[in-house]
Amino acid sequence: MSIFVDETTKVVYQGLTGSQGRFYGLRNRDYGTQVVAGTNPKKAGTDVDGVPIYASVADARDATGATTSCVFIPAPGVRAAVMEAAEAGMDLVVVITEGVPAHDEAWFYNKVKRDFPGTRILGPNCPGIISPGRCNIGITAGEIATPGGPVGIVSRSGTLTYQALYELKLQGIGVTTCVGIGGDPVPGTSFIDCLEAFEADPETRAVMMIGEIGGTGEEEAAEFIEAKMTKPLSSYIAGVTAPPGKKMGHAGAIVSGGKGTAKAKMDALVGAGVAVGNNPTEAGELMVEIVRSL
């Protein structure tokens, strides 16, 4: 199985008529993803390479049965786009856009959680989600992912998401689902959300978790792993050499006081029984050892 998406998932692209939305939407379609619609109220009734354009997500849902939305809307419009998708009853809203204001993220995260509990947000500022050989929503290159399991991947870093997939591909190890949760301060989907789903997925037999400095998500994940996870994990935490108090890369990658450091996260994960690598390649090698021992 995969988590959150599979080959039956029907996707509407908010922003399919833009250059980035078109490029990745059609790439995802070519991969095999059911890209069934796009939205643009000014271009309703037209199409993008055969994909019909509707005025709204609700119209697209009614016409196509779409259950998932992928957002390629510029940052100022993301708040409205997410709410449009939630109000249309989307099960999953994948927000690729970076640069979304943190107060907008906090607002729509809490609004959706309170008023639309059936809708999951992934992102913003994330590479999306791929279930290799089944479904690819976002900007991950399908060529670097091997299908068939048994590993699930969850990552805050887009670039390290790709490296994790490729490290396993080089070893001939398949992936059930790879989820890029994004590195912004208010992610719609957390490490724990993904770990819980992987724990429940019978095809996922091991999990690779990629974190980075800033926030407390990895420490919280370590507590969950120790209490709830029965499946083995490897991990890597980026930012060991980052100077304290300085934002590095993602908006969420800032260390406050003694919290959020790479060392604190690594110590917490080791304490929870996770095999922690000192670099991404080592984390991949540790996962290879885990898979061979399954």
Just list the catalytic residues: 250
Query: Which residues, listed in sequence order, are joined to residue 237 by a DSSP beta bridge?
Result: 211
- Using CA atoms, how far apart are residues 209 and 79, in angstroms rounded to an integer? 28
Count CA atoms closer than 13 A to 14's CA, side-chain side: 32
The one-letter code for the residue type at 87 is E
Do the beta carbons of residue 208 and residue 152 sit within 8 Å? yes
